[in-house]
Structure 1
Amino acid sequence: MATVDTSSSISNDLMATMNPKKTVVDPNSVEAQTNKFLTLLVTQLQNQDPMNPLDNAQLTSQLAQLSTVTGINNLNTTLDSLKSSYQQAESMQAANIIGHGVLTAGNSINLSKSAALLGVDLTTAADKVKVDIYDKSGKLVHSIDLGAQDPGTLPLGWNGTTGDLDADGKPVVLPDGAYTFKVVATRGGTELKDATALMFGSVASVSTGASGVKLNVPGVGSITMADVKQIL
Protein backbone atom coordinates (compact mmCIF):
# COMPACT_ATOMS: atom_id res chain seq x y z
CA MET A 1 0.00 0.00 0.00
CA ALA A 2 1.43 3.40 -0.99
CA THR A 3 2.13 5.93 1.72
CA VAL A 4 2.22 9.72 1.58
CA ASP A 5 5.26 11.45 3.08
CA THR A 6 3.77 14.44 4.90
CA SER A 7 6.99 15.31 6.68
CA SER A 8 9.07 15.91 3.55
CA SER A 9 10.35 19.22 2.22
CA ILE A 10 7.20 19.49 0.06
CA SER A 11 5.27 20.69 3.10
CA ASN A 12 7.94 23.27 3.92
CA ASP A 13 8.03 24.50 0.34
CA LEU A 14 4.24 24.85 0.33
CA MET A 15 4.31 26.87 3.56
CA ALA A 16 7.07 29.07 2.20
CA THR A 17 5.01 29.71 -0.94
CA MET A 18 1.90 30.57 1.04
CA ASN A 19 3.81 32.75 3.50
CA PRO A 20 6.65 34.45 1.65
CA LYS A 21 9.19 36.35 3.72
CA LYS A 22 8.79 40.07 3.65
CA THR A 23 11.64 42.02 2.15
CA VAL A 24 13.38 44.13 4.77
CA VAL A 25 13.45 47.74 3.64
CA ASP A 26 15.97 50.21 4.98
CA PRO A 27 13.92 52.79 6.94
CA ASN A 28 16.15 55.55 5.54
CA SER A 29 15.78 54.46 1.92
CA VAL A 30 13.81 56.31 -0.75
CA GLU A 31 11.33 53.41 -0.93
CA ALA A 32 10.65 53.50 2.81
CA GLN A 33 10.15 57.27 2.83
CA THR A 34 7.82 57.04 -0.15
CA ASN A 35 5.79 54.28 1.51
CA LYS A 36 5.38 56.36 4.65
CA PHE A 37 4.19 59.33 2.64
CA LEU A 38 1.70 57.26 0.63
CA THR A 39 0.39 55.59 3.78
CA LEU A 40 -0.27 58.97 5.36
CA LEU A 41 -1.92 60.25 2.17
CA VAL A 42 -4.19 57.19 1.82
CA THR A 43 -5.15 57.42 5.51
CA GLN A 44 -6.01 61.07 5.04
CA LEU A 45 -8.18 60.30 2.01
CA GLN A 46 -9.96 57.47 3.84
CA ASN A 47 -10.77 59.62 6.83
CA GLN A 48 -11.68 62.85 5.09
CA ASP A 49 -15.03 64.51 5.61
CA PRO A 50 -17.33 63.42 2.71
CA MET A 51 -19.01 66.82 2.90
CA ASN A 52 -15.69 68.62 2.69
CA PRO A 53 -13.32 66.40 0.71
CA LEU A 54 -9.69 67.16 0.01
CA ASP A 55 -9.59 69.54 -2.93
CA ASN A 56 -7.42 69.06 -6.00
CA ALA A 57 -5.02 71.84 -5.04
CA GLN A 58 -4.25 70.20 -1.68
CA LEU A 59 -3.82 66.79 -3.30
CA THR A 60 -1.53 68.22 -5.97
CA SER A 61 0.49 70.00 -3.29
CA GLN A 62 0.98 66.79 -1.31
CA LEU A 63 1.94 64.85 -4.43
CA ALA A 64 4.45 67.60 -5.22
CA GLN A 65 5.86 67.19 -1.71
CA LEU A 66 6.22 63.46 -2.36
CA SER A 67 8.10 64.19 -5.57
CA THR A 68 10.35 66.64 -3.74
CA VAL A 69 11.13 64.17 -0.95
CA THR A 70 11.88 61.45 -3.49
CA GLY A 71 14.10 63.77 -5.47
CA ILE A 72 16.06 64.84 -2.38
CA ASN A 73 16.57 61.23 -1.32
CA ASN A 74 17.74 60.30 -4.81
CA LEU A 75 20.11 63.26 -4.74
CA ASN A 76 21.51 62.15 -1.37
CA THR A 77 22.06 58.65 -2.77
CA THR A 78 23.90 60.11 -5.76
CA LEU A 79 26.05 62.34 -3.54
CA ASP A 80 26.96 59.35 -1.33
CA SER A 81 28.02 57.46 -4.44
CA LEU A 82 30.10 60.40 -5.66
CA LYS A 83 31.67 60.76 -2.21
CA SER A 84 32.66 57.10 -2.23
CA SER A 85 34.18 57.43 -5.70
CA TYR A 86 36.05 60.58 -4.64
CA GLN A 87 37.47 58.84 -1.57
CA GLN A 88 38.66 55.94 -3.70
CA ALA A 89 40.37 58.32 -6.13
CA GLU A 90 41.90 60.29 -3.26
CA SER A 91 43.13 57.07 -1.65
CA MET A 92 44.86 56.05 -4.89
CA GLN A 93 46.41 59.50 -5.20
CA ALA A 94 47.59 59.39 -1.59
CA ALA A 95 49.12 55.94 -2.06
CA ASN A 96 51.34 57.36 -4.81
CA ILE A 97 53.16 59.64 -2.35
CA ILE A 98 54.07 56.94 0.17
CA GLY A 99 57.79 57.34 0.80
CA HIS A 100 57.78 60.97 -0.36
CA GLY A 101 58.51 63.93 1.88
CA VAL A 102 55.81 66.51 2.55
CA LEU A 103 55.64 69.94 4.10
CA THR A 104 52.70 70.61 6.41
CA ALA A 105 51.86 73.15 9.11
CA GLY A 106 54.12 72.78 12.15
CA ASN A 107 57.20 74.29 13.77
CA SER A 108 59.31 71.22 14.60
CA ILE A 109 62.73 70.48 13.12
CA ASN A 110 64.47 67.10 13.25
CA LEU A 111 68.18 67.63 12.69
CA SER A 112 69.69 64.31 11.57
CA LYS A 113 73.27 63.89 10.34
CA SER A 114 73.53 67.69 10.25
CA ALA A 115 70.64 67.99 7.80
CA ALA A 116 67.06 69.13 8.19
CA LEU A 117 64.20 70.35 6.01
CA LEU A 118 61.57 72.93 6.88
CA GLY A 119 59.48 75.47 5.04
CA VAL A 120 57.60 78.75 4.98
CA ASP A 121 54.17 79.41 3.49
CA LEU A 122 53.15 82.98 2.69
CA THR A 123 49.61 83.98 1.72
CA THR A 124 50.71 87.50 0.82
CA ALA A 125 54.02 89.04 -0.24
CA ALA A 126 56.47 90.13 2.45
CA ASP A 127 59.25 92.76 2.44
CA LYS A 128 61.28 90.71 4.88
CA VAL A 129 61.11 87.09 6.04
CA LYS A 130 63.21 85.64 8.84
CA VAL A 131 63.31 82.15 10.34
CA ASP A 132 64.43 81.90 13.98
CA ILE A 133 65.56 78.45 15.20
CA TYR A 134 65.46 77.47 18.88
CA ASP A 135 66.91 74.56 20.84
CA LYS A 136 65.05 72.42 23.42
CA SER A 137 65.55 75.03 26.14
CA GLY A 138 64.00 77.74 23.99
CA LYS A 139 67.30 79.47 23.29
CA LEU A 140 67.68 81.16 19.91
CA VAL A 141 70.53 79.34 18.15
CA HIS A 142 70.29 80.53 14.57
CA SER A 143 68.44 82.95 12.30
CA ILE A 144 67.96 82.62 8.54
CA ASP A 145 67.29 85.87 6.64
CA LEU A 146 65.25 85.15 3.51
CA GLY A 147 64.76 88.77 2.47
CA ALA A 148 61.69 89.72 0.42
CA GLN A 149 59.44 86.86 -0.69
CA ASP A 150 56.43 86.50 -2.96
CA PRO A 151 53.32 84.55 -1.89
CA GLY A 152 53.75 80.78 -1.97
CA THR A 153 55.51 77.87 -0.33
CA LEU A 154 59.27 78.02 0.17
CA PRO A 155 61.17 74.86 1.23
CA LEU A 156 64.40 75.37 3.21
CA GLY A 157 67.37 73.29 4.19
CA TRP A 158 69.43 73.68 7.37
CA ASN A 159 72.76 71.99 8.03
CA GLY A 160 72.82 72.64 11.77
CA THR A 161 75.24 75.55 11.64
CA THR A 162 74.75 78.66 13.76
CA GLY A 163 76.67 81.17 11.68
CA ASP A 164 79.39 81.36 14.33
CA LEU A 165 82.96 80.06 14.10
CA ASP A 166 84.82 77.97 16.65
CA ALA A 167 88.38 78.53 17.92
CA ASP A 168 89.78 76.88 14.80
CA GLY A 169 87.77 79.13 12.50
CA LYS A 170 85.35 76.38 11.51
CA PRO A 171 81.54 76.80 11.49
CA VAL A 172 79.86 75.76 14.71
CA VAL A 173 77.56 72.79 14.03
CA LEU A 174 74.83 71.94 16.53
CA PRO A 175 74.24 68.33 17.62
CA ASP A 176 71.50 66.27 15.98
CA GLY A 177 68.13 66.35 17.71
CA ALA A 178 64.84 68.20 17.98
CA TYR A 179 64.56 71.92 17.41
CA THR A 180 61.73 74.38 16.84
CA PHE A 181 61.46 77.47 14.68
CA LYS A 182 59.36 80.58 14.16
CA VAL A 183 58.63 82.50 10.98
CA VAL A 184 58.64 86.30 11.22
CA ALA A 185 57.38 88.05 8.08
CA THR A 186 56.82 91.78 7.77
CA ARG A 187 55.55 94.21 5.17
CA GLY A 188 55.93 97.96 5.63
CA GLY A 189 57.22 97.34 9.15
CA THR A 190 54.07 95.47 10.17
CA GLU A 191 54.27 91.78 11.07
CA LEU A 192 52.11 89.58 8.85
CA LYS A 193 49.73 87.10 10.45
CA ASP A 194 49.43 84.85 7.40
CA ALA A 195 52.99 83.47 7.45
CA THR A 196 52.93 79.76 8.34
CA ALA A 197 55.78 77.59 9.55
CA LEU A 198 56.00 74.24 7.74
CA MET A 199 57.57 71.08 9.13
CA PHE A 200 58.90 68.18 7.11
CA GLY A 201 57.91 64.53 7.30
CA SER A 202 57.97 61.40 5.16
CA VAL A 203 54.68 59.63 4.35
CA ALA A 204 54.83 56.08 5.75
CA SER A 205 51.33 54.82 4.95
CA VAL A 206 47.77 55.76 4.02
CA SER A 207 44.60 54.88 5.93
CA THR A 208 40.95 55.26 4.93
CA GLY A 209 38.08 55.55 7.39
CA ALA A 210 34.92 57.43 8.26
CA SER A 211 36.92 60.66 8.49
CA GLY A 212 38.33 60.19 4.99
CA VAL A 213 41.81 59.50 3.65
CA LYS A 214 44.68 60.10 6.06
CA LEU A 215 48.42 60.25 5.47
CA ASN A 216 50.40 58.74 8.32
CA VAL A 217 53.60 60.75 8.77
CA PRO A 218 55.96 59.71 11.59
CA GLY A 219 56.86 62.65 13.79
CA VAL A 220 53.95 64.65 12.40
CA GLY A 221 50.86 62.45 12.83
CA SER A 222 47.85 61.77 10.63
CA ILE A 223 47.12 64.52 8.13
CA THR A 224 44.79 64.96 5.18
CA MET A 225 45.76 65.64 1.59
CA ALA A 226 44.51 69.20 2.10
CA ASP A 227 47.08 69.66 4.91
CA VAL A 228 49.98 69.03 2.50
CA LYS A 229 51.46 72.32 1.30
CA GLN A 230 54.15 70.75 -0.84
CA ILE A 231 55.35 67.28 -1.88
CA LEU A 232 59.13 66.93 -2.07
Structure 2
Amino acid sequence: MLNSVSMDSIYQSTYDAKKDREIKKELDKEAFLELLVTELQNQDPTQPMENKDLVAQLSQLSSTEQITNMSQAIQEMVNSQMSLNKLQAASLIGKTVVVNDNTIDLQSGVAEGLNYGLDNGSQVYLEIYDSKGQVVYTEDLGVQEAGLHSYVWSGRNNDGTMMPDGEYLYGIYTVENGQMVANTGVKSGTVEAVKFLDNELYLLINGEMYPYSVVNEIST
Protein backbone atom coordinates (compact mmCIF):
# COMPACT_ATOMS: atom_id res chain seq x y z
CA MET A 1 0.00 0.00 0.00
CA LEU A 2 1.25 3.54 -0.73
CA ASN A 3 1.17 6.44 1.72
CA SER A 4 0.09 9.96 0.72
CA VAL A 5 3.67 11.23 0.37
CA SER A 6 4.58 8.33 -1.88
CA MET A 7 1.51 8.91 -4.04
CA ASP A 8 2.51 12.54 -4.55
CA SER A 9 5.97 11.38 -5.57
CA ILE A 10 4.52 8.89 -8.04
CA TYR A 11 2.31 11.49 -9.69
CA GLN A 12 5.16 14.01 -9.92
CA SER A 13 7.64 11.45 -11.27
CA THR A 14 5.17 10.14 -13.80
CA TYR A 15 4.34 13.65 -14.97
CA ASP A 16 8.01 14.62 -15.32
CA ALA A 17 8.80 11.44 -17.23
CA LYS A 18 5.88 11.76 -19.63
CA LYS A 19 5.60 15.53 -20.19
CA ASP A 20 7.87 15.34 -23.25
CA ARG A 21 6.15 12.27 -24.67
CA GLU A 22 3.49 12.46 -27.36
CA ILE A 23 0.00 12.38 -25.88
CA LYS A 24 -1.75 9.11 -26.71
CA LYS A 25 -5.29 7.89 -26.24
CA GLU A 26 -4.17 4.47 -25.05
CA LEU A 27 -1.38 3.43 -22.66
CA ASP A 28 1.35 1.68 -24.66
CA LYS A 29 3.67 -0.94 -23.20
CA GLU A 30 6.59 1.49 -22.60
CA ALA A 31 4.37 3.89 -20.65
CA PHE A 32 2.82 1.01 -18.72
CA LEU A 33 6.25 -0.36 -17.73
CA GLU A 34 7.47 3.11 -16.80
CA LEU A 35 4.48 3.65 -14.54
CA LEU A 36 4.98 0.24 -12.88
CA VAL A 37 8.68 0.90 -12.19
CA THR A 38 7.89 4.32 -10.75
CA GLU A 39 5.26 2.77 -8.50
CA LEU A 40 7.73 0.15 -7.23
CA GLN A 41 10.40 2.79 -6.57
CA ASN A 42 8.02 4.90 -4.52
CA GLN A 43 6.15 2.23 -2.61
CA ASP A 44 6.02 2.27 1.18
CA PRO A 45 8.84 -0.06 2.42
CA THR A 46 6.72 -1.04 5.42
CA GLN A 47 3.86 -2.12 3.18
CA PRO A 48 5.35 -3.28 -0.13
CA MET A 49 3.25 -4.44 -3.04
CA GLU A 50 2.07 -8.00 -2.58
CA ASN A 51 3.22 -10.65 -5.04
CA LYS A 52 -0.28 -11.21 -6.39
CA ASP A 53 -0.62 -7.49 -7.16
CA LEU A 54 2.74 -7.47 -8.94
CA VAL A 55 1.79 -10.55 -10.95
CA ALA A 56 -1.52 -8.93 -11.90
CA GLN A 57 0.20 -5.79 -13.17
CA LEU A 58 2.82 -7.81 -15.06
CA SER A 59 -0.02 -9.76 -16.66
CA GLN A 60 -1.54 -6.47 -17.79
CA LEU A 61 1.83 -5.49 -19.25
CA SER A 62 2.02 -8.79 -21.13
CA SER A 63 -1.50 -8.32 -22.49
CA THR A 64 -0.73 -4.76 -23.56
CA GLU A 65 2.41 -5.90 -25.39
CA GLN A 66 0.57 -8.75 -27.10
CA ILE A 67 -2.18 -6.42 -28.29
CA THR A 68 0.41 -3.93 -29.59
CA ASN A 69 2.31 -6.66 -31.43
CA MET A 70 -0.91 -8.05 -32.88
CA SER A 71 -1.99 -4.62 -34.11
CA GLN A 72 1.39 -4.09 -35.77
CA ALA A 73 1.22 -7.53 -37.42
CA ILE A 74 -2.29 -6.88 -38.73
CA GLN A 75 -1.25 -3.49 -40.13
CA GLU A 76 1.73 -5.07 -41.87
CA MET A 77 -0.57 -7.69 -43.41
CA VAL A 78 -2.96 -4.97 -44.61
CA ASN A 79 -0.10 -2.97 -46.15
CA SER A 80 1.26 -6.08 -47.84
CA GLN A 81 -2.15 -7.00 -49.24
CA MET A 82 -2.67 -3.46 -50.56
CA SER A 83 0.67 -3.61 -52.39
CA LEU A 84 -0.28 -6.97 -53.89
CA ASN A 85 -3.69 -5.64 -54.94
CA LYS A 86 -2.07 -2.73 -56.76
CA LEU A 87 0.26 -5.04 -58.66
CA GLN A 88 -2.64 -7.27 -59.66
CA ALA A 89 -4.75 -4.25 -60.64
CA ALA A 90 -2.02 -2.98 -62.97
CA SER A 91 -2.22 -6.27 -64.90
CA LEU A 92 -5.80 -5.36 -65.94
CA ILE A 93 -4.63 -2.48 -68.14
CA GLY A 94 -5.18 -3.34 -71.80
CA LYS A 95 -7.69 -6.10 -71.11
CA THR A 96 -11.28 -6.13 -72.33
CA VAL A 97 -13.91 -6.08 -69.61
CA VAL A 98 -17.69 -6.14 -69.42
CA VAL A 99 -19.27 -3.95 -66.74
CA ASN A 100 -22.80 -3.49 -65.47
CA ASP A 101 -24.06 -0.14 -66.76
CA ASN A 102 -27.62 1.05 -67.40
CA THR A 103 -26.79 4.49 -68.83
CA ILE A 104 -27.24 5.87 -72.34
CA ASP A 105 -25.55 8.98 -73.70
CA LEU A 106 -27.55 11.06 -76.17
CA GLN A 107 -25.33 13.43 -78.18
CA SER A 108 -26.46 15.57 -81.12
CA GLY A 109 -29.67 13.57 -81.22
CA VAL A 110 -27.85 10.24 -81.56
CA ALA A 111 -28.03 7.69 -78.75
CA GLU A 112 -25.34 5.13 -78.14
CA GLY A 113 -26.39 1.51 -78.42
CA LEU A 114 -27.39 -0.35 -75.28
CA ASN A 115 -26.67 -3.99 -74.51
CA TYR A 116 -28.26 -6.44 -72.12
CA GLY A 117 -28.18 -10.15 -71.42
CA LEU A 118 -31.02 -12.58 -70.76
CA ASP A 119 -30.56 -15.78 -68.80
CA ASN A 120 -33.77 -17.19 -70.21
CA GLY A 121 -36.04 -16.51 -73.15
CA SER A 122 -38.82 -14.10 -72.19
CA GLN A 123 -41.06 -11.22 -73.13
CA VAL A 124 -38.91 -8.08 -72.87
CA TYR A 125 -39.90 -4.49 -72.09
CA LEU A 126 -37.76 -1.35 -72.27
CA GLU A 127 -38.11 1.85 -70.25
CA ILE A 128 -35.90 4.93 -70.57
CA TYR A 129 -35.67 7.57 -67.82
CA ASP A 130 -34.39 11.14 -67.73
CA SER A 131 -32.09 12.58 -65.05
CA LYS A 132 -35.10 13.14 -62.76
CA GLY A 133 -36.15 9.49 -62.96
CA GLN A 134 -39.18 10.25 -65.12
CA VAL A 135 -40.09 7.70 -67.80
CA VAL A 136 -39.66 9.31 -71.23
CA TYR A 137 -39.91 6.25 -73.47
CA THR A 138 -41.30 2.72 -73.29
CA GLU A 139 -41.32 -0.12 -75.79
CA ASP A 140 -42.39 -3.74 -75.95
CA LEU A 141 -39.41 -5.54 -77.49
CA GLY A 142 -41.32 -8.79 -77.87
CA VAL A 143 -40.22 -12.30 -76.97
CA GLN A 144 -36.45 -12.74 -77.06
CA GLU A 145 -34.20 -15.74 -76.58
CA ALA A 146 -31.56 -16.11 -73.88
CA GLY A 147 -28.24 -14.43 -74.66
CA LEU A 148 -26.79 -11.00 -75.38
CA HIS A 149 -28.99 -8.44 -77.14
CA SER A 150 -28.52 -4.91 -78.47
CA TYR A 151 -30.87 -1.99 -79.01
CA VAL A 152 -30.52 1.56 -80.34
CA TRP A 153 -32.90 4.20 -79.01
CA SER A 154 -34.15 6.84 -81.46
CA GLY A 155 -33.68 9.58 -78.88
CA ARG A 156 -37.38 10.44 -78.96
CA ASN A 157 -39.97 10.23 -76.20
CA ASN A 158 -43.33 8.47 -76.38
CA ASP A 159 -44.82 11.52 -78.14
CA GLY A 160 -42.15 11.44 -80.84
CA THR A 161 -40.40 14.57 -79.57
CA MET A 162 -36.59 14.57 -79.72
CA MET A 163 -35.14 14.60 -76.22
CA PRO A 164 -32.31 16.97 -75.23
CA ASP A 165 -28.75 15.70 -75.19
CA GLY A 166 -27.50 14.21 -71.95
CA GLU A 167 -27.26 11.01 -69.97
CA TYR A 168 -30.30 8.77 -69.56
CA LEU A 169 -30.97 5.58 -67.66
CA TYR A 170 -32.75 2.54 -69.02
CA GLY A 171 -34.39 -0.54 -67.59
CA ILE A 172 -34.80 -3.92 -69.25
CA TYR A 173 -37.64 -5.95 -67.77
CA THR A 174 -38.64 -9.55 -68.34
CA VAL A 175 -41.64 -11.53 -67.15
CA GLU A 176 -40.88 -14.43 -64.83
CA ASN A 177 -43.64 -16.35 -63.06
CA GLY A 178 -46.02 -13.50 -63.73
CA GLN A 179 -43.67 -10.92 -62.17
CA MET A 180 -41.69 -8.13 -63.84
CA VAL A 181 -37.96 -8.64 -63.22
CA ALA A 182 -35.28 -6.01 -63.86
CA ASN A 183 -32.21 -7.05 -65.87
CA THR A 184 -28.84 -5.33 -65.85
CA GLY A 185 -27.49 -3.55 -68.89
CA VAL A 186 -23.83 -4.02 -69.82
CA LYS A 187 -21.03 -2.21 -71.61
CA SER A 188 -17.68 -3.50 -72.80
CA GLY A 189 -14.39 -1.74 -73.34
CA THR A 190 -10.65 -1.78 -72.79
CA VAL A 191 -9.15 -0.89 -69.42
CA GLU A 192 -7.13 2.28 -69.98
CA ALA A 193 -5.97 2.88 -66.41
CA VAL A 194 -6.56 1.77 -62.82
CA LYS A 195 -6.87 3.87 -59.69
CA PHE A 196 -7.46 3.31 -55.97
CA LEU A 197 -9.88 5.68 -54.24
CA ASP A 198 -10.48 5.13 -50.51
CA ASN A 199 -8.93 1.66 -50.91
CA GLU A 200 -11.44 0.73 -53.62
CA LEU A 201 -10.25 -0.17 -57.12
CA TYR A 202 -11.61 1.80 -60.08
CA LEU A 203 -11.06 1.13 -63.78
CA LEU A 204 -10.98 3.72 -66.55
CA ILE A 205 -12.99 2.25 -69.45
CA ASN A 206 -14.01 4.21 -72.54
CA GLY A 207 -13.12 7.41 -70.70
CA GLU A 208 -15.35 6.61 -67.69
CA MET A 209 -14.42 5.41 -64.20
CA TYR A 210 -16.08 2.22 -62.95
CA PRO A 211 -15.69 0.53 -59.56
CA TYR A 212 -14.25 -2.96 -59.89
CA SER A 213 -17.38 -4.31 -58.17
CA VAL A 214 -19.44 -3.78 -61.38
CA VAL A 215 -17.08 -5.85 -63.56
CA ASN A 216 -18.65 -9.19 -64.52
CA GLU A 217 -16.27 -10.41 -67.23
CA ILE A 218 -12.57 -10.00 -68.07
CA SER A 219 -10.87 -11.20 -71.25
CA THR A 220 -7.53 -10.65 -72.97
Indicate the residue corresponding to 1:78 in structure 2.
73
Indicate the residue corresponding to 1:37 in structure 2.
32
Amino acid at match of 2:137: L
> 2:193 & 2:61 partners in 1: Cα distance?
47
Indicate the residue corresponding to 1:214 in structure 2.
202
Match of 2:51 among 53, 56, 74: 56
Match of 1:96 among 80, 91, 98: 91
> 1:64 & 1:212 partners in 2: Cα distance?
40
Match of 1:134 among 125, 128, 133: 128
TM-score with structure 2 setting the length = 0.59
Instruction: Please tell me whether the aligned partners of residues 48 and 54 of structure 1 are also in contact (alpha carbons under 8 angstroms).
Output: yes
Residues 120 and 87 (structure 1), Cα distance of their counterparts in 2 relative to 1, 3 Å cut = farther
| Secondary structure, counterpart of 2:47 in structure 1 | coil
- Residue 206 of structure 1 deviates from its aligned partner by 1.3
TM-score with structure 1 setting the length = 0.56
> 1:44 & 1:229 partners in 2: Cα distance?
62
Instruction: Please tell me whether the aligned partners of residues 115 and 159 of structure 1 are also in contact (alpha carbons under 8 angstroms).
Output: no
Give the alignment's Cα RMSD to 1 decimal.
Answer: 4.3
Unaligned runs of 5+ in 2: 1-20, 155-164
Amino acid at match of 2:38: T
Task: Give the % identical residues.
Answer: 25
Unaligned runs of 5+ in 1: 1-24, 163-175
- Count, aligned residues: 181
Residues 159 and 182 (structure 1), Cα distance of their counterparts in 2 relative to 1, 3 Å cut = closer
Query: Does residue 47 in structure 1 map to residue 42 in structure 2?
Result: yes
> 1:111 & 1:140 partners in 2: Cα distance?
14
In the TM superposition, 1:1-232 aligns within 5 A as: 33-99=28-94, 100-104=96-100, 106-110=101-105, 116=113, 118-119=115-116, 130=124, 132-134=126-128, 138-144=135-141, 156-160=148-152, 178-184=167-173, 188-190=177-179, 197-200=184-187, 202=189, 203-208=191-196, 211-217=199-205, 220-223=208-211, 225-231=212-218
